[in-house]
Amino acid sequence: MPGRPAGREDWPGRPWGAAYNRDVPAYERHVFICENRRDPADPRGCCSAKGSEAVRSRLKELVHEAKLRGRVRINSAGCLDQCAHGVTIVVYPEAVWYGGVTLEDVDELFREHVLNGRPVERLRLPHMRPAREPG
């Protein structure tokens, strides 16, 4: 089939590429931090100008200190389309969106949500909640 590397075998019934990740466990938490940069004249602002790099660095440091490599992943993201609410973070698998996160909030967010699965309600973006949350 065009586009597939020669000699690549997939699992039966799975889409192409599934074999590539078959031995990689899913992350318990995958955290995306917007680090988008906009023109300083843009009225929406940007997460980068609000300290997103420091926020991401601290989260990565906490993951390292807690020895969670391979279980928790911290990633930079491009624009998450919430510029006016930055620093914006989204945590999966729960798809919890946070806004206005500062460096001072990071340890609490890590402890409560990343380690214990409890979203930090005061930082959540209300307009990004599902129409009906479970529970």
Q: 46-94 pLDDT, tens per residue?
A: 888 899 999 999 999 999 999 999 999 999 998 888 878 879 999 999 9
Residues 51 and 86: their CA atoms lie apart, in Å, by 9
Check if CATH label 3.40.30.10 holds for domain 28-128.
Answer: yes
Say what the pLDDT of residue 20 is.
52
What does pTM read for this prediction?
A: 0.77
Stretch 19-27: mean pLDDT: 64
Q: CB–CB of 119/110 below 8 Å?
A: no
- Averaged pLDDT of the chain: 83
pLDDT of 30 above 50: yes
Residue whose token pair is 């690549």 = 8
Distance of CA 58 to the CA centre of its chain: 14
Say what the pLDDT of residue 126 is.
86
Q: 116-129 pLDDT, tens per residue?
A: 999 999 999 988 87
Residues 50 and 80: their CA atoms lie apart, in Å, by 14
Per-domain residue ranges of the chain: 28-128
